[in-house]
Homo-oligomer: A and B are copies of this chain.
Amino acid sequence: MARKQTAPASDRIPPPAPPGTRERLLAAAAAEFAARGFAGTRVDRIAAAARVNKAMIYYHFGSKAALYQEILGDMFQAVNANVRRVAAAADPPEEKLAQFVAAIAREAEARPHFPQIWFREIAEGGVHLGEPALGDMAGVVLTLGTILDQGVRSRRFRRTDPLLVHATIVAPLLLFFASAGVRRRLDRAGLSGAGGITRDAVVAHVQRITRSLVEGRV
């Protein structure tokens, strides 16, 4: 949990690009946790994938659980920070909404293991989510709420439930990014074309349904 100091307290300059054992472990661990889940992940596999000695995990993070927490926290914090930036911009609400969708997609791609981990945490009831991560998750919905409010106040949007809009945006996007593996297998199982959907088509699709959802009387 506690972040180890790599430089003496007297040195304010960030560590001069070390081999990055810690970073390599974080990246390898995210991939393993995403593909196999917390329980299914083996510490030895993380170490092997990072080409780092297993003991380093305990040196840097203390435990498998603490390592997982670190990854979870970073991910949800990044998403929250990104959508916050979108909402803070000086754009009309329609544009912010489209940017909100794009931000989720961008974050899912920047951290390719986020969608899977997110799905798993949902299934698990969020038992690994700490107070900060939970706050970040709530923050994303809250931020979407402010965008919707802006639209309602300026009489461009009808009043909608932020949680429903959130689900309409986030669930299909995450499903798309998390399901690359399954879609590839479905392609071979008789659903030709399942592997052929593009990221842009999905983002555009979600942007369209979102817009019609908040604008139309539907």
Contacts and interface: CB of A to CB of B under 8 A. Distances in A.
Interface residues of A, number: 60
Count this chain's copies in the assembly: 2
A142 to B, nearest CB: 7
Given A123-B34, A171-B172, A197 B161 contact: yes
Contact of A176 (B129, B167, B172): B167
A42 to B, nearest CB: 10
A19 interface: no
Interface stretch (A4-12, A62-70, A200-208): A200-208
Interface of A: 34-40, 115-117, 119-127, 129, 131, 134-135, 137-138, 141-142, 161, 163-164, 167-168, 170-172, 174-176, 178-182, 185-186, 189-191, 193-194, 197, 201-202, 205, 208-209, 212-213, 216, 218
Closest 5 CB pairs of A and B: A125-B181, A39-B40, A171-B171, A138-B191, A116-B123
25 contacts: A37-B39, A37-B123, A116-B122, A116-B123, A119-B120, A119-B123, A121-B182, A125-B185, A126-B185, A127-B181, A129-B185, A131-B189, A134-B185, A134-B186, A138-B190, A138-B191, A163-B197, A164-B172, A164-B197, A167-B176, A171-B174, A212-B212, A212-B216, A212-B218, A216-B216
